[in-house]
Structure 1
Amino acid sequence: MSQWAMLALVIIEATVGGMTPAPGDPSDPYWPDDRYYSFTSEEIALLEKAGQDVFAMCCEATDFLVENRELITSQLAIPAFALQQIKKSWDREPPWGSVYGRFDVCFGGLNHPDPRLRVPKLYEFNADTPVLLVESASIQWLWLEQTGHGNDQLNSITERLIEAHRVKVHFAYTRGEPTGEHAMNTTLLMDTCQQAGWPTKTLFMEQIGLSSRDRRFYDQEGEHIDVIFKLYPWRYMVESKFGEAYFKDMERIGQRNKVGEYIGGTVWIEPPYKMLWSNKALFAILWQLFKNDPRSQWLLPTYFDTEAPASLTSFARKPIFAGQGADVVLQADGRVIQDTTTGDYGKEGYVVQELALLPEFKAVGNVSYYPVLSLWVVDGKVSGMGVREDKTPITTNGSMFIPHSISDGPINYERQSVPNIDEIEAS
């Protein structure tokens, strides 16, 4: 095992007590040491511009959706009992409870031989429960400091997270997640909250209880949950035994009794309106609203499955609710080129997105890898990036994380020595 792979593993184990490797080729390390992606300052500025433009369009689309709420239930497959709190959480200024999200981007660089890959195209917005945070925010920055491979990095994620935390904040993830990834990401977010000066407390989602006395939510020690970050999707919460109760409780957010004690509901991070942004149908809405807008240069034509034009013969068909590349079909010129159908997703409907295959890069042994860029948005601002590679055009939960750097401009860090194994284990 290389020193860098050992360092990444030690950091992970020290944070959450170890993790189980994600499925994939066991010969592929999660963090390969033999490559990284180098970007110019011009390319980084272009990615930031694309991310900010699409984030602004998401905000404008949300204004449209909360005023046309029948579309939320009919096209985004979100239950009606969630509508009021989606609107309320969005209408607050600034909207409460939003910290971060992650765009998935197709981009091959400004000098890529295929001109279609010289313009960033945003596939979707992981706005509810995005992971890859530890690798993107912390470990790849250590990699840059210790290797010196580049002058800078698109990475102010940790600093922006500290600024974004607005009370004791509870942090929850599900007990049943086997890889340790959710625990690891939740721990990093909790650390930034502590650095911002707020007390924190951890629990499992399964430990949250609804009081029969006041119909409010409490933790495993009987303490009311005023504010909670949950690395758990809203789409699962609305289907759970407390589904409607979560939203009923939110109607009381902000209430206090005569002596000033808080008797209101729980504030959830990420907020209910993130159900709109983390929904793959959002990009069909964006295309409907903005296809004639100059900012649509960052979008791919996307349609609801039943509305796709017959002329569209090269596309990606994706379930409205899905993740990690599951149940996706890629078709090129009428021919299926990759199919990850499992049957786990799709009952809620599909979207069809014009095909934009990821750029293909050859590594040692002439092995092909397809990188997708993960563009992080923290408190409304593009704040960092990570790169995931897979051996197929569909990025799955067996993908690898590859660091990146910026090749030009001022050097924005101090070089650090690479610790040896003994120093790592002693730290």
Structure 2
Amino acid sequence: MRRIAIAERANWRELAAECGFDFHTLDGQPYWDESAYYAFSLREIEDDIEAPTAELHDMALDLVDSIVQDDATLRQLAIPEPYWDWIAESWRRRDPHLYGRMDFAYDGTGAAKLYELNYDTPTSLFEAAFFQWQWLEQQLMRGALPAGADQFNSIYESLVEAFGSIARQIARPFYAAAVGRSVEDQGTVAYLRDCAVQAGIECGLIAIEDIGISQDGRFTDLDDRAIGCLFKLYPLEDMFRETFGGYLPRAGMQLIEPPWKAVLSNKGILPLLWQKHRGHPNLLPAVFDDASALAPGWVRKPLYSREGANIAMRLPDGTELDSTGPYEGPYIRQAYHPLPAFDGRHVLIGSWVVGDRACGMGLREDRSPITRDSAHFVPHAIVDEPAMDAPRATLVA
């Protein structure tokens, strides 16, 4: 694994505009960064990223059945009791799901370590599936990448196939929804809609704010039609807290991601995985908010938090770091394990699972050890070992 400088495509901003990548710059700061790329060997991808992703996904799914049947665990995960039966029944029916993303720390020399599962509303999808693939093809055509360079990326094909496999299970009308004012989320749902259409599924777009409630408690579109199935890029835990949340269990509306994903998108899945698979090489020790169990270093995370918000970190030397945000406890703690740093940039690998298949990845890097929503997305390539002559990562303790 290397970070290698490369000349940007002169017209990449125009290309981004043409394909609807309107969030390549956020709040005046660059989000997409192609001034460098991360190079991996095929062995690193297959053995250290793809295989562990598939195994951890199976391990996580294996926990769901016992979780949804255990009131104490659901209470420990801070899932509101009115939704327990709804979640359990969704799992018993095996309501279809689409995708998820695992975040890993990995430097090319040891086992990738799981930081968390993003299994309800994972983003950075379009840039991982499409824009970095376009970057690879065009840099190969320019001769800027080693001949034969490839990418761990069959995300688009996997999405279309996954939609096709669940097409008959999707109730109609089918909509994809996100917060209307979020450019990034709107770009993500537009891309997912395109994938559904490619699979032969008619799919509309609607802003979360425009969804209504009928007198008989059904969720409706702008024409007051009851929505059959909703792909919502909107956190389940937020829906639980909203005024309309109480309608969810009895509204008859199918959700993608399904209600049972509530137990996997919760940070509490990390100590539960550790309890069942203690010592697994890809897991970090994790507990339900007990600092004494993880001395000398730990990372504290709310059960419900996103984009690196409200993280507290204690390094083994006693240094403490934290990030602000809107989230509160309860919390879990993971053993401290630093992200690798390349030229002062801490890089996090997001490994995608679509339709139960590990199928691609995207990398984000931050000047801080905590990967925040301001982190940059940097493309990657699989290259032959002789081409990987840039410096390796340094671990910052």
TM-score (normalizing by structure 1): 0.81
Does structure 1 residue 146 correspond to structure 2 residue 122?
A: no
Match for residue 269 of structure 2? 282
Match in the other structure for 1:345: 327
Matched, 1:181 2:200: no
> Does the CA contact (< 8 Å) of 1:170 and 1:201 recur in 2?
yes
- Tell me, in whole angstroms, the C-alpha distance in 2 between the residues paired with 1:326 and 1:63: 30
Secondary structure at the residue paired with 1:104?
Answer: strand
Give 1:15 deviation, angstroms. 2.5
What's the CA shift for 1:217?
1.5
Number of the residue aligned with 1:398: 374
Between the aligned partners of 1:5 and 1:404, the Cα distance in structure 2 is 19
Partner of 1:58: 60
Deviations 1:212-251 (A, max 9, x none): 1x321210112221111111000110001111111122xx
SS for the counterpart of 1:244 is: helix
Q: Does 1:377 align with 2:382?
A: no
| 2:142 aligned with 1:161 | no
Once the two structures are TM-superposed, the CA of residue 127 in structure 1 deviates from its matched residue by 0.6
Q: 2:232, 2:257 within 8 Å by CA — same for their partners in 1?
A: yes
Asked if the contact 1:13/1:19 (under 8 Å) is kept, the reply is no
Q: TM (normalized to structure 2)?
A: 0.87
Residue matched to 1:48? 50
What is the Cα deviation at residue 20 of structure 1? Answer: 8.1
Question: Which AA in structure 2 matches 1:210?
Answer: I
1:22 alignment counterpart: 26
Residue correspondences, number: 365
Q: What is the CA deviation profile of residues 370-389 of structure 1, one whole-angstrom value per residue up to 9, with x for unaligned ones?
A: 11000000011111100001
Aligned-pair distance for 1:90?
A: 1.4
Matched, 1:68 2:55: no
- Secondary structure of 1:220's match? coil
Deviations 1:142-192 (A, max 9, x none): 111011225211111011101111244201111242xx1000100110000
Q: Against the structure 1 CA distance between its residues 12 and 233, is the aligned structure 2 distance closer, same or farther, given a 3 Å change threshold?
A: farther
Looking at CA atoms only, which structure, 1 or 2, has the larger radius of gyration?
Answer: 1
Query: Structure 2 residue aligned with 1:298, among 273, 282, 287?
Result: 282
Mapping of residues 25-424 of structure 1, within 5 Å = 26=29, 29-46=30-47, 47-73=49-75, 75-92=76-93, 95-110=94-109, 118-148=110-140, 149-150=145-146, 151-165=149-163, 166=167, 167-177=172-182, 180-212=183-215, 214-249=216-251, 265-291=252-278, 296-305=280-289, 307-310=290-293, 312-333=295-316, 335-342=318-325, 344-346=326-328, 348-362=329-343, 368-408=344-384
Contact kept in structure 2, 1:23 and 1:398, CA below 8 Å: no
**For the residues of structure 1 that align with 2:369 and 2:57, how far apart are their CA atoms?**
25
Question: How many angstroms does 1:14 deviate by?
Answer: 4.5
Secondary structure of the corresponding residue to residue 73 of structure 2: helix
One-letter amino acid of the structure 2 residue matched with residue 375 of structure 1: S
Q: Is the 8 A contact 2:8 2:35 kept in 1?
A: no
What letter matches 1:393 in structure 2?
A: P
Secondary structure of 2:56 counterpart: helix
Q: Which residue type is aligned with residue 265 of structure 2? A: S
Question: Offset at 1:333?
Answer: 2.2
Q: Secondary structure at the match of 2:20?
A: helix
Counterpart secondary structure, 1:4: coil
- The answer to whether the 8 Å contact 2:219/2:253 transfers is yes
- 8 Å Cα contact 2:150-2:383 kept in structure 1: yes
> CA contact under 8 A between 1:208 and 1:217: conserved in structure 2?
yes
- Distance, in Å, in 2 between the alignment partners of 1:377 and 1:242 is 30
Cα contact 2:285–2:294 (8 A) shared by 1: no
Q: Give yes or no for contact 2:67–2:73 (8 Å, CA) kept in 1.
A: yes
> Is the 8 Å Cα contact of residues 317 and 351 (structure 1) preserved in structure 2?
yes
Change (3 A) 1:19 1:108: closer
Could you tell me how far 1:23 is from its partner in structure 2?
5.0
SS of equivalent residue, structure 1 residue 78: coil
Q: What CA deviation, in whole Å up to 9, does each residue of 1:344-402 have, x standing for no partner?
A: 212x311110011000111xxxxx10110000000111111000010111101111011
Distance 1:140 1:14, change over 3 A: closer
CA RMSD between the two structures: 1.9
Residue pair 2:34, 2:379 contacting (<8 A) in 1 also: no
Measure, in 2, the Cα distance between the counterparts of 1:152 and 1:290.
34
TM-aligned CA distance change 1:12 to 1:282, over 3 Å: farther
Structure 1: gaps of 5 or more residues: 111-117, 250-264, 363-367, 410-427
In the superposition, relative to structure 1, how do residues 37 and 83 fare at CA in structure 2: closer, same or farther (>3 Å)?
same
Question: Would the aligned equivalents of 2:24 and 2:32 in 1 still touch at CA under 8 Å?
Answer: no
Per-residue deviation at 1:107? 0.3
Distance 1:133 1:311 in 2: 33
Give secondary structure in 2 for the equivalent of 1:188: helix
Three-state SS of the structure 1 residue aligned to 2:243 is: coil
- The answer (yes or no) to whether the contact 1:329–1:336 under 8 Å persists in 2 is no
Could you say if the C-alpha distance between residues 308 and 64 of structure 1 is closer, same or farther in structure 2, counting changes exceeding 3 Å?
farther
Maintained 8 Å contact 2:90/2:260: yes
* Mapped contact 2:237–2:262 kept (Cα < 8 A): yes
